[in-house]
Amino acid sequence: MSSSIYSMTTKIKKLSKLQLLGLFILVSATIYILNHKNTSPAYNSIDGRIFGTLYNITYQHNEDLKPDIEQELKLLDASLSPFNETSIITKVNNNEDVKVDAFFRKVFHRSMEISEEADGAFDITVAPLVNAWNFGFKKGSQPTEAMIDSLLQITDYRKITMRNDSVIKQDPRIMITCSAIAKGYACDVIGQLLDRKGI
């Protein structure tokens, strides 16, 4: 037995310092990997409804961000959802005196910019037409040509402005929908929240 120990000691002595360092690093790395292989943050998933539709958010983080995410979505819904009877946009459409919030202001101004760039092909005052075709927040049916012509008279983004955080409409029948941009904006808001959390 003493000869086998002597033989092993001799072999270890023959290893160069560089080889010993490499062996130490390899053993240390193996131990580290084995100890940390199951410490990746878990995947979390949140489901719900906003803007009259469903959403699903999946993120990888150890912290439960559901309360933070749901709070942001609740604020967005209270601002921009025409399906929410108490939202700012619903109050604007009902000609109620209401001051808009930062979410509404940002989406409204961006919508106006896009409408200008698209020469009116994008228009948030299209809500009455969308509703008439039963695609919006109010029930409609197959509109007649006369009805479409009538609704086109009040469909024009240039007939609305914002002054002192209030939407000014040239015609009280004008209704707006930000659905074409609000959903993407909501994704941006949640993305910014996740960025702030380091995700």
Write out the chain's pLDDT in tens, 199 residues: 555 555 555 555 555 666 666 666 776 777 767 666 656 778 889 998 888 888 999 998 888 899 999 999 999 999 999 999 999 999 999 999 999 999 999 999 999 999 999 999 999 999 998 888 777 666 667 788 888 888 889 999 999 999 999 999 999 999 999 989 999 999 999 999 999 988 8
Tell me the pTM: 0.74
Considering Cα of 73, then 196, then 99, then 171, what sign does the dihedral take? negative
Distance CA 199, CA 191 (A): 9
| CA-based nearest residue to 178, from 116, 126, 134 | 126
CATH number of 43-196: 3.10.520.10
- Domain residue ranges in the chain: 2-36, 43-196
Token pair for 79: 């601002």
Indicate the SS3 state at residue 167.
strand
- Give residue 136's pLDDT: 65
Distance CA 139, CA 186 (A): 25
- Give residue 142's pLDDT: 79
b/e per residue, 77-113, with b = 16+ CB within 10 A? bbbbbbbbeebbbbbbbeeeebebeebbbbbbeebbe
- Give residue 7's pLDDT: 58
